[in-house]
Amino acid sequence: MWIGADYYPEQWPKERWPLDAELMARAGFRVVRLAEFAWARMEPEEGRFTFDWLDEALEVLGRHGIQAVLGTPTATPPAWLVQAHPEILPVDEDGVRVGFGGRRHYCPNSPEYLRHVERIVEAMAHRYGQHPGVMAWQIDNELGGHRTACFCDTCRSAFQEWLRERYGSLDALNEAWGTAFWSQAYTSWQQIPLPGRTVAVHNPSLRLDHARFVSDAYARFLRRQVAILRRGAPHHRITTNFMGLFEDLDYFSLAGPLDFVSWDNYPGFRPAPGEASGAAVALSADLMRSLRHRRFWVMEQQAGPTGWDGLIDPAPRPGQLRLWTWQAVAHGAEAVLYFRWRTATKGAEQFWHGILDHHGRPGRRYEEIRGTAEELGLLPGWLEQAVPRTPVAILMSYDDRWAWRIQPQNAGLTFEARLLSWYRAMWRRGVGVGIVRAGDRLPLGPGSGAPAEGFRIVVVPSLMSLTPEGASRIEGFARSGGVVIVGPRTGIKDQANAVYPLPPPGPLAGVCGVTVEEYDSFPVGKRIPVRLQLPRPDLEEGAPAGPVLQGTGAVWCDVLAPQGARAVGWYTADHLAGRPAVTVHPVGRGAVVYVGTLLDPQLQEAIVDWALERAGVETPLSAPDSQAAVLASDVEAVLWDGPGGRSALFLLNHGAQAATAHLRGRWVDAFTRAPAGPGVTLDPYGVTVLEKAPGDPSPGVS
């Protein structure tokens, strides 16, 4: 486990550096990230490199046993470069060139910029590629942040070239995009626009391809730097810092050439009102782990009150910094670096607080982080060989997220409604989730750690863009015995973002045993009553079904025509009264549930409970007294499996009140070895790590 900070020696007098390093070492820090915005300090004018200050900083840190991750500074092209080559600045959708003054002010396709990027990265690799104080590299900083797409002429030609490669011929493009609509047939590649300012709206097929093109441009930008660093720093590991659920770049592709994934985590930045739970952070972390099926780093972890653009968010409460660190570890972090070491007194981020306040004296936050680093050092060693148990896969694709962004269809069909709500239901039960790229293999298995181990449940959360191959992977999973849950609007779009000339769910209709006869998009706030009666999990014909549950649907209503599936939920009012809303289809040894509306949390969770039971997934938390108690709980439980049948359970209380978790099985405290459970009470923002008591077989998935 590596603990550390993001450090900006260039922003402080060097007389202060030894004290910083000493305080870091005293807090157990062994790593810092340096230099990712320091281009002007490293190269004050073209070709004149001034690395002496960085050499010295590395030396001071090295004396205290602290290693460095070096950032390439390409998120901040210096003023002299912009002055000499204003064409490297990005252009916005209105065709206006954006000015110097912030950061990330570059066009990722600009040949002139790429030339300078290569120069500075080569110079850094040359200087530090063999440096004993350097352990890894971070490329750029938060690729795609602030402003992703550029609308300059270079980007326009690059887009046309990208399309030519993708489609081969204009006929193929015209056909795929349906340019017969509004007389948009292209007779030359040069006619094709970027989706900038126009009258009315752009073709959704053009927009989706443009989103892919933009993501590819950053992937190329990243790969160029990787190639230079591989040559110049062959023994160092390479990463870039992602932004969790950020959707503009296809992180599955970008992660490919990296040695490890890292990301920036600010749980308290502009918190949603009433959002005490850590589900969204947990999902981000699970996505980061799933990109490469390996441990990840948190390259920036919130260390104080966030404050962007002059507004300051609430301060982390006592215990929260520790909680967030443990949450990262529970989801697979092998390093946590706090952003930033000391709060800046100058510059745009004066109110984005670090571990130390502006005055630089250690305070409450420093002490909490120091204590956390100490505890982390005491974690049982076998956990390094352990993996989180993930019996559930949730499918995701960036193509699909972009298609949703282009056509949201209903303001209520948010990412939260489509995907996060399913994730949260698993999260509340302590059921681990892996995020799988739609179309990838979906083996059935016990569901531990990596896809190679398989899954027991697959959630297909309103996956609008679905290929026939993707659909057949889902079908194969169900046939071999898996449980599949499918949300509304799945399977309606092809890869060109055209609507399939088929009733939804298109290529998935056969495996769902259902087609959508008609659908309705509801105004915000309107709800429709729904009656749900799930069958016995074994789907025995004629066996008595489960209890009748009354609830509601909202936002979207598919009216289902079962074709082999059984209706198990019905709308009960308006013109939809009596029409099916939810179905279950036995497929091979598995079962597929189609959910045609956005159910209220109680009904949605009833479906999740049914799926868990059907799939034989045991949760580490024992059956709560009531479903309401599950819904109200802020306790997160994360289960890991290790060698020799060992298991660990992380319990994290995200709430401001003490809370009790009720456990299945027998456990001991991982630090004190004292017996724990069945009830474990956690302080506000409290954390407990347990190990399965020797000889206890439960909870297990057999």
Catalytic residues: 142, 300
Contact pick of 216, 300, 313, 357 for ligand GAL (by CB under 6 A): 300
Site for ligand GAL in 261-280 (CB under 6 A): 264
274: left (phi over 0), alpha (psi -120 to 50) or beta: left
**Would you say 151 or 339 has its CB closer to ligand GAL?**
339
23 interacts with, out of Zn ion, ligand GAL, none, CB within 5 to 8 A per kind: none
Closest CA to 561 of 589, 580, 584: 580
User: DSSP string covering 90-116, please?
Assistant: -B-TTSPBPPSSSS----TT-HHHHHH
List the interface residues with ligand GAL, window 245-264 (CB under 6 A): 264
> Structure tokens of 546?
């489960």
CA distance 675 to 696: 12
The H-assigned helical ranges of 279-319 are 279-292
Q: Would you state the structure tokens that stand for residue 219, as one six-digit string?
A: 């992937």
Over the window 153 to 182, marking each residue x when it contacts Zn ion by CB under 5 A and - when it does not, the resulting string is: -xx---------------------------
Minimum CB separation from ligand GAL for residue 320, in Å?
A: 17
Least distance CB 70 / ligand GAL (angstroms): 15
Applying CB under 5 A, does 152 fall inside the site for Zn ion? yes
Partner whose footprint covers residue 300, from Zn ion, ligand GAL, none (CB < 5 to 8 Å by kind): ligand GAL
Nearer to ligand GAL, 260 or 339 (CB): 339
Subset of 301-320 contacting ligand GAL (CB under 6 A): 308
Closest approach, Cβ 619 to ligand GAL, in A, equals 35
214 part of the interface to Zn ion, by CB under 5 A: no
Candidates 8, 113, 352, 650; binder of ligand GAL (CB under 6 A) is 352
Nearest-approach distance from CB 4 to ligand GAL, in angstroms: 15
Write down the least CB distance from residue 185 to Zn ion, Å. Answer: 26
* 3-state secondary structure (DSSP) of residue 333: strand
The answer to the question of residue 107 lying near Zn ion (CB under 5 A) is yes
Nearest residue (CB) to Zn ion, 150 versus 582 = 150
Strand order in the sheet with 2-6: 237-239, 134-138, 67-71, 31-34, 2-6, 333-339, 296-302, 262-265, 241-242
Nearest to 606 by CA among 559, 677, 550: 550
301 versus 619: smaller Cβ distance to ligand GAL: 301
**The only residue of 38, 150, 238, 651 in contact with Zn ion, by rule CB under 5 A:** 150
Query: Edge-to-edge strands of the sheet including 635-641?
Result: 387-388, 635-641, 647-653, 687-692, 667-669, 675-676
Nearer to ligand GAL, 352 or 477 (CB): 352
Distance CA 594, CA 559 (A): 11
Rounded to 10 deg, the angle between the 421-428 and 601-615 helix axes is: 60
For residue 469, the surrounding DSSP H or E stretch is helix 468-479
141 binds ligand GAL (CB under 6 A): yes
Residue 166's alpha-carbon distances to 209, 210, 238, 398, 496, in angstroms, are 9, 12, 29, 18, 11
User: Nearer Cβ to ligand GAL, position 309 or 541?
Assistant: 309
Strand partners, 335: 2, 297
Q: Which one of 148-156, 306-314, 415-423, 552-560 is the stretch in contact with Zn ion (CB under 5 A)?
A: 148-156
d(CA 299, CA 5): 8
Residue 141 interface partner, choices ligand GAL, Zn ion, none, CB cut-off 5-8 Å depending on type: ligand GAL
Instruction: Reply yes or no: is the peptide bond before residue 340 cis, omega within 30 of 0.
Output: yes
Q: Which is nearer to Zn ion, 121 or 155 (CB)?
A: 155
Question: Residue 33 or residue 104: which is nearer to Zn ion going by CB?
Answer: 104
Phi (first) and psi of residue 388, to 5 degrees = -70, 145
Provide, rounded to whole angstroms, the least separation between the CB of residue 343 and ligand GAL.
Answer: 11
Find the largest Cα–Cα distance for the chain: 82
Q: Which does 326 bind (CB under 5 to 8 A by kind): ligand GAL, Zn ion, none?
A: none
With CA atoms as reference, report the closest residue to 432 among 701, 245, 241.
701
**Cα separation, 144 vs 302, whole angstroms:** 20
Residue placing its CB nearer to ligand GAL in the complex, 142 or 558: 142
152 binds, among Zn ion, ligand GAL, none (CB under 5 to 8 A by kind): Zn ion
- Cβ atoms 178, 207 nearer than 8 A: no
Nearer to Zn ion, 154 or 343 (CB): 154
Q: Give the total of residues touching ligand GAL (CB under 6 A).
A: 8
Candidate list 142, 605, 609, 691; residue touching ligand GAL; CB under 6 A: 142
Q: Which of ligand GAL, Zn ion, none does residue 142 bind (CB under 5 to 8 Å by kind)?
A: ligand GAL
Rounded-to-integer distance, Cα 286 and Cα 70, Å: 25
Partner interacting with residue 484 (select from Zn ion, ligand GAL, none; CB below 5-8 Å by kind): none
Closest residue to ligand GAL in the complex (CB): 352
Q: Minimal distance in Å, beta carbon 124 to ligand GAL? A: 18
* 150, interface contact from Zn ion, ligand GAL, none, CB < 5-8 Å by kind: Zn ion
Q: Which does 107 bind (CB under 5 to 8 A by kind): Zn ion, ligand GAL, none?
A: Zn ion
Helix %, strand %, coil % of the chain (to 5): 35, 25, 45
Q: How far is CA 356 from CA 306, 339, 368, in A?
A: 13, 10, 12
Residue 155 binds what, of Zn ion, ligand GAL, none (CB under 5 to 8 Å, by partner type)?
Zn ion
Q: Is 114 in the site for Zn ion (CB under 5 A)?
A: no
Q: Which region holds residue 479: left if phi is over 0, alpha if psi is between -120 and 50, else beta?
A: alpha
Among 339, 341, 398, 685, indicate the residue that binds ligand GAL (CB under 6 A): 339
Collapse the DSSP code of 591 into the 3-class scheme (helix H, G, I; strand E, B; otherwise coil) and give the result: strand
Site string for ligand GAL, 97-136 (x = CB under 6 A): ----------------------------------------
Query: Which is nearer to Zn ion, 61 or 192 (by Cβ)?
Result: 192
Q: Which of 349, 367, 416, 520 binds ligand GAL (CB under 6 A)?
A: 349
Cβ 340 to ligand GAL, closest distance in Å? 7
In angstroms, the CA 467 to CA 507 distance is 7
**Closest-CA residue to 695 (of 654, 644, 661):** 644
Site residues, ligand GAL (CB under 6 A):
141-142, 264, 300, 308, 339, 349, 352
Site residues, Zn ion (CB under 5 A):
107, 150, 152, 154-155
